[in-house]
Amino acid sequence: MPSSTSRVLVALLVAAALTSAACKKPSPAGSAAPASTGAAQSVPPAPVPGSNAAAPATVPPKPMPAQLPDVLARVNGEPVERWEFDNAVKRLEARAGGSIPADRRDEILRGVLDQLVAYHLLAQEARARKFAAADQDVDARVAEIRKNFPDEAAFTQAIAAQGLTVDHLRAQTRSNLEVQKVIDAEVSAKVSVQDADVSTFYEQNLERFKQGESVHASHILIGVPQGATPEQKTAAKAKAEAALKQVRGGADFGTVARAQSQDPGSAQNGGDLGFFPKGQMTPAFEEAAFKLKTGAVSNIVETPFGFHIIKSLGRRPARTAPLDEVSGQIKDFLTQGQREQKLEQFIAQAKSKSKLEVLV
């Protein structure tokens, strides 16, 4: 499979949005795979045809010091600073749903540092090609991020919880936009997945498309930021209760979800999460969703992401998903696999031409 560097580089681009998954389980601690908020994905992880599996590490990673310096590395003379390293670690822990395991600390932190070095290489390449991000694009992206929070205080608190200032966030956003231009030019434009590739993958991996009983549900999420105060939690629950009162009073669930839900992955679709089997959502969310009869609406359900109102839209028995239903996800999966491979190759070429200094 592609190595973790490209996966986390993609995550670095996505995670600057400071949005959290609405109800999906977090990945295991230390995983680089970000959770998503939309409809349940039908393609489980699988080796990408033509990819090379990374060999297990035979040499233990060099220990990371307990106290890290302000500058951890230099990439062609440009510093990789402590604040961006701390922020990357916090995002990794947020996606994993817990702290880095002590027995994997050196391995994971070394991986994060390597990923930041690669990120700096891409940012330098963007500047060399004059792929500058316009100020209005940076402003628009920061405004999108801010919309994911109920008020300015929650936005500021979320930034601080990530170890960032507003200036840091703007700098990250600008770099993300510029790095994406390099990736689009050197990686995405060179990816090609044909219909025959999709069909072959499906036929060779039928076991992966067997699904247990699934529920089709929508939800309304009133989010609670990490480290929320009791007052913030109380206010969020009150908003959720008000939304539930509207629904119970006859308001259209989808309309309320579009207007009030703070799940960016589903709100625009009226809160629709699609079908999902057991084991995919957080326990409290899953338990409530599977207990509901079709058409019924739950009471307030609390999860680590906030307060949910869930509506059951139907059930589906265990089955093997047909190709026409999952072909889009398979194509996306194979495209991403190719993209990660090509990104790894591009980063390796950039490293071979650069002066890299690791200071820890």
* pLDDT of 216 over the 50 cut: yes
Residue spans of beta strands (DSSP E) within 144-188: none
Position 43 pLDDT exceeds 50: no
Dihedrals phi, psi of 239, to nearest 5 degrees: -65, -40
Q: Strand 306-316 to strand 301-303: parallel, antiparallel, or no bridges (unpaired)?
A: antiparallel
User: Which pLDDT does position 149 carry in this prediction?
Assistant: 86
pLDDT tier for residue 25 given thresholds of 50, 70 and 90: low
The tally of CA atoms less than 13 A away on the side-chain side of residue 2 is: 27
What is the per-residue pLDDT for 32?
27
> Could you tell me if 293 and 287 are in contact, meaning their C-beta atoms sit under 8 angstroms apart?
no
Pair of tokens at residue 328: 């889009």
pLDDT digits (tens, 9 = 90+) for 317-335: 999 999 999 999 999 999 9
Q: Is the pLDDT of residue 242 over 90?
A: yes
Q: Among 46-60, 140-154, 196-210, 296-310, where is mean pLDDT lowest?
A: 46-60
| pLDDT top residue among 169 and 23 | 169
Residue with tokens 């209760």: 241
Quote the pLDDT of residue 23: 58
Edge-to-edge strand list for the sheet holding 214-223? 272-277, 214-223, 306-316, 301-303
| Calculated CA dihedral for residues 6, 9, 14, 17, nearest 10 degrees | 170
- Numbered ranges of CATH 1.10.4030.10 in the chain: 4-192+325-358
Distance CA 44, CA 208 (A): 6
Q: Is the model's pLDDT at 24 over the cut of 90?
A: no
Q: In what order do the strands lie in the sheet with 78-81?
A: 78-81, 71-75, 356-358
Judge whether 226 and 305 are in contact, CB under 8 Å.
Answer: no
Specify the CATH number of the domain 4-192+325-358: 1.10.4030.10
The mean pLDDT value for 129-152 works out to: 89
Both tokens of 6, joined, read: 């490209």
The confidence score (pLDDT) of residue 93 equals 83
Q: What is the mean pLDDT of the chain?
A: 83
- How far is 305 from 26, CA to CA, in rounded Å? 11
pLDDT of residue 324: 94
Query: How big is the CA angle at 190 (ends 91 and 174), to the nearest 5 degrees?
Result: 40
Asked whether residue 339 carries a pLDDT value surpassing 50, the answer given is: yes
For 217, which DSSP code? Answer: E
| CA separation for the pair 32, 30 (Å, rounded) | 6
In this prediction, what percent of the chain has a pLDDT beyond 90? 59
Q: What is the CA radius of gyration of the chain?
A: 22
User: Angle formed by the axes of helices 195-204 and 323-352, to 10°?
Assistant: 110
Task: Encode pLDDT of 89-120 as tens digits.
Answer: 888 887 777 888 988 999 999 999 999 999 99
309: nearest Cα among 288, 327, 330, 290: 288
CATH 3.10.50.40 placement within the chain: 213-317
25 vs 218, more confident: 218
Give the DSSP letter string of 54-98.
PPPP-SPPPPPPSS--SEEEEETTEEEEHHHHHHHHHHHHHHHTS
User: What percent of the chain stands above pLDDT 70?
Assistant: 84
**Choice among 112-116, 153-157, 280-284, 350-354 with the minimum mean pLDDT:** 153-157
pLDDT band with cut points at 50, 70 and 90 for residue 166: confident
- Sorting pLDDT into bands at 50, 70 and 90, what band is 136? very high
Residue 19 has pLDDT above 60, yes or no: no
Asked whether the beta carbons of 34 and 26 are under 8 A apart, the reply is: no
Of the CATH numbers 3.40.190.10, 3.65.10.10, 3.40.50.11060, 3.10.50.40, which one belongs to the domain with range 213-317?
A: 3.10.50.40
